[in-house]
Amino acid sequence: MAILVITTAPAVQAMKLAQSAVEQKKAACASVSPVFTSIFRWNNKICKEKEAQIFFKAADHKLAELIAFVEKNHPYDVPEIISFTSDITGEKYEKWLNEN
Mean pLDDT in residue range 43-68: 96
Q: What's the pLDDT at 27?
A: 97
Average pLDDT over residues 71-94: 92
9 pLDDT tier (thresholds 50, 70, 90): confident
Looking at residue 87, its pLDDT comes to: 84
What gap in Å lies between CA 58 and CA 28, rounded to an integer? Answer: 5
Q: Sort strands 81-85 and 45-58 into parallel, antiparallel or unpaired.
A: unpaired
pLDDT of 89 above 90: no
Task: Please give the pLDDT value at position 45.
Answer: 97
In the predicted model, what is the mean pLDDT of residues 86-96?
90
Cβ neighbour number for residue 75 with a 10 Å cutoff? 11
Q: In the CATH hierarchy, which fold is given to the domain comprising 2-99? A: Alpha-Beta Plaits (3.30.70)
Buried/exposed code over 14-53 (b: 16+ C-beta within 10 A; e: otherwise):
bbebbeebbeeebbbbbebeeeeeeeeeeeeeeeeeebbb
Are the beta carbons of 29 and 45 closer than 8 angstroms?
no
